[in-house]
Amino acid sequence: MKIWIAATLAALISLPVHAADNGAVRVEPIAFTTSADSVERKQSIKGDQTAEYRFKGRAGQMLTIDFKPSNTSAYFNITAKGADYALFNGSIMGNHFSGSLPSDGEYTVQVYLMRNAARRNEVANYALSLRLAGADAAQTKPFEQTLELQGIRFHVSREQVDGQSVLRIEPKGLEIDNSAITRPLKGDIVRAEIADLNNDGSPEIYIFTRVPGRGMPGELIAYSANNKKSLSEIYLPPVSDNPKIAAGYQGEDSFAVVENALVQRFPVYDNADAGAGRTGKMRQVQYTLMAGEAGWVLREEKVAEY
């Protein structure tokens, strides 16, 4: 899944929020009425029309958005009121967002067509799903997904065992060992992806988790199917191990698989103190998958700020 396009991100992210020319704007307020509320809209836009869905949010709440357009030139952005640039830019990051809100205030989800499609007066029908959850709801959010690549299948789910939330990974198709793996969970499963980052013909499974709120780091749980025989864990070094990455880090990570790399993205703060303010910049770290001494390791390849 192409969530970020690393080669062009630094240039594109600085573009203004509105990707299409100014045209008719349809504004709809969204009222989330419970601590884990969801809404869905099935609508359309044409040409330079845009649709804006506005809602109130609190810092630390987990926002999840899924966007399914009929036109591949249709995307969505997320902005906070008063911000100059998008919190999320769909033309770069894709049609799925899951992350915690950085501050209290009004947020806008803007649906639009890219300029070329808008100028051709194209139409985009779309389904937009929005979910806003508080920290309490995030802890109990269910998750279940099956992914398959190169003849290997992974069933990923969240379960309750003795009152504890656990991640369960059930592989199928491995030649030697298809035993299920369980891991305790501190937060919520944001997303699972399957990929073959090192192009060795055997897939890896990547699960991304988050605890909403400032100072709460995201977590990557990942395994590689060694020659399609059995699973071994993939190690991601902690941010604190690399001063170049750690400066101004206060958690709030997002992860994604981008072509043949894993990308980690997080806001940069003035320093590591609890009361530090945001610099307004985001840091993106790109990792490649390599064989280590005792298994697989994700090695930092590029670091960019924008």
Query: Per residue, what are the HEC states of the chain?
Result: CCCCCHHHHHHHCCCCCCCCCCCCEEEEECCCCCCEEEEEEEEEEECCCEEEEEEEECCCCEEEEEEEECCCCEEEEEEECCCCCCCEEHHHHCCEEEEECCCCEEEEEEEEECHHHHHCCCEEEEEEEEEEECHHHHCCCCCEEEEEECCEEEEEEEEEECCEEEEEEEEECCCCCCCCEEEECCCEEEEEEEECCCCCCCCEEEEEEECCCCCCCCEEEEEEEECCCEEEEEECCCHHHCHHHHCCECCCCEEEEECCEEEEEEEEECCCCCCCCEEEEEEEEEEEEEECCCCEEEEEEEEEEC
Average pLDDT over all residues of the chain: 84
- Domain extent, residue 109, equals 6-134
Q: Is residue 1 part of a domain?
A: no
Same domain, 300 and 211: yes
- Look at the pTM and tell me if it is higher than 0.85: no
Same domain, 126 and 274: no
Same domain, 12 and 79: yes
pLDDT 10s digits, 118-173? 999 999 999 999 988 764 444 445 789 999 999 999 999 998 887 778 999 999 99
Of 134, 168, 190, which residue is a domain's last?
134
Same domain, 98 and 162: no
pLDDT 10s digits, 58-87? 877 878 899 999 999 999 999 988 775 678
Q: Tell me the pLDDT band of 301, cut-offs 50, 70 and 90.
A: very high
Q: Give the number of domains in the chain.
A: 2
More confident position, 95 or 126: 126
* pLDDT over 80 at 113, yes or no: yes
What pLDDT, on a 0 to 100 scale, did the predictor assign at position 151? 96
